[in-house]
Structure 1
Amino acid sequence: MPAVFKDLCLDATDHQRLADWWCAALGYVRREPERDPADPIAIADPTGTGPLIWINPVPEPKTVKNRMHFDVWGDTNELLAAGATLLRARGGDIRWDVLADPEGNEFCVFKD
């Protein structure tokens, strides 16, 4: 076996804020709420079914399209109200909306 999936990692210039945003968007919680504020932040699904996500601090903002992204089941309007940006609405042959989180990381939203 060449590899086993471990975690997802997401870079952010304001990793504290983005960790809070994804926690609210996914219903996740910070795995270790008392970490040094400069360290990467692990957020986890409290039910234990979703993957662990690390929000890593980086100095540079996102400048190009993601090569990998999240797909989520959810309500586009709620995510937009929480601070996401609509990049492309579903329609025609496309059954999902493409949104960006507050730092511009793209993700696709499928209806519940």
Structure 2
Amino acid sequence: MGAIHEIVFDCVEPAVLAPFWADLLEGYALRETDPTGQAMSLALGLDPDVPTILMLDGPGPSICFQNVEGQRPDNNRVHFDVEVSDRSSEVERLKQAGATVDRVLPTYTVMRDPEGNQFCLVDKREEQLADEVEQAA
């Protein structure tokens, strides 16, 4: 079983959508950007002064607005990231329930529900931090 970690919006202009939703949703505010976002933009050949990802924090799950150029018919524009404590077991359980795996990455797995809607299973934050510390050592 998992818990909603964040809700992710694929969009062309995170700097437009994030403030819109922050204004709409009571108790939500724009998270301060960190230098890794600028570094990621540079690595992707994008303008580092234009954010590619903006986050909102509030009383419920975080909300992520990530830049995705153009529409991809195989990709939901909005999806859940679901935090789980044992990702591989949860993937197998969900496959038995009719889900499919799109791709597996180091800290998350992109899946589809029985009707083809995308969602991501993400490792619990404590486990992610422990893995990052272990890899850095």
| Higher-strand-fraction structure | 2
Which is greater in Rg? 2
Shorter chain as denominator, the TM-score bin is 0.3 to 0.5
TM-score w.r.t. the length of structure 2 is 0.38
Greater per-residue helix proportion: 2
Name the TM-score, length of structure 1 as normaliser: 0.45
